[in-house]
Structure 1
């Protein structure tokens, strides 16, 4: 059964369980012993938080997904919800943010080990690769480089840990977000960037033959007879 973290469209009071030991995180209680106050949703846990029962990672906690839910849609929703939480908690009023923009995930499609698309936020525009297996890059630290092949070539992504999604692979596409007038403008930039990344390279055009000289024009054209010695004998 597919399962995801509570950021993926689930209520803030969802009680996810550790897949390894069964420990349940209760947002009403929090985890005061680890400086997590009561009322903290799972999506608001600090990066250092681990399962109190077995020390497992956050991405090991799951809640059952609705029947028939698309895993990609759930992961993308979780990604957008995680960045919305960051926007509300940490980035409100920060000068680098473009107040005309909001968090939005768009263009996601299957690729390689997961799903790739773009995320718009008031402070960045990134291409993001979400792994199907949240543990795929668990040995990588934030900022580590990952080389991933895309249709247009090989790119160096940056590792970024995001809660229950595990470690994502990210390419910064724009950091000065004031270049975008509004959300629609930012969407256009995201679509163009993703189209470039996911487009197969076109073969180089064949060079045009040099123009024939007057001397060449007087030469007889090649024929089957001239190539194979005058035909039958």
Structure 2
């Protein structure tokens, strides 16, 4: 059995970028879905419930990642195992992955392969915004009734002059 996965005391972003650079250099560049104009960048990593969460952008994919935070220790799991996490944005399904230099992590694919028309600046903005949105609470207009039939009732009343 493998050893436990120790948490990262500081952001794992530089380690992730180096690890995915190594993957890119190891034959990924020759694949048809590799978009050389897209940089390899770990975007928006921050602590959430003592775990690091952010987006990993590569020339072949965009994924939401979770890695253990400071003083955290994950028990080793089988690569490919599925886990669901409740994030502020909602429930998200992750797959356990592993990469040299970083160990095990959870990944949720957001775009794989990347759209071929995506420019580098667009891809970076998408990665940053996706990381931010994963940890954002859903926006609800508190002035609207939660029951749509009730809204329809109010519209009917206004139409009949009942609100005058």
The TM-score, its normalising length taken from structure 2, stands at 0.77
Residue 64 of structure 2 is aligned to residue 127 of structure 1: yes
In structure 1, the partner of 2:10 is 72
Q: Distance in 2 between matches of 1:185 and 1:149?
A: 28
Name the CA distance, whole Å, in 2 between partners of 1:215 and 1:95. 64
Q: 1:106 aligns to what SS in structure 2?
A: strand
Q: CA deviation at 1:195?
A: 3.4
| Distance change in 2, residues 1:102/1:146 (3 Å) | same
User: How big is the shift at 1:162?
Assistant: 2.3
Matches within 5 A, 1:77-226: 77-132=14-69, 135-138=73-76, 140-203=77-140, 205-206=144-145, 208=151, 210=154, 211=157
Rg larger in structure: 1
Query: Unaligned regions of 5+ residues in structure 2, if any?
Result: none
Instruction: Choose between structure 1 and 2 for higher RCO, CA contacts under 8 A separated by at least 6 residues.
Output: 2
Q: 1:216 Cα deviation (Å)?
A: 8.5
Higher relative strand content:
2
Q: CA RMSD in A?
A: 2.8
Q: How many residues align?
A: 152
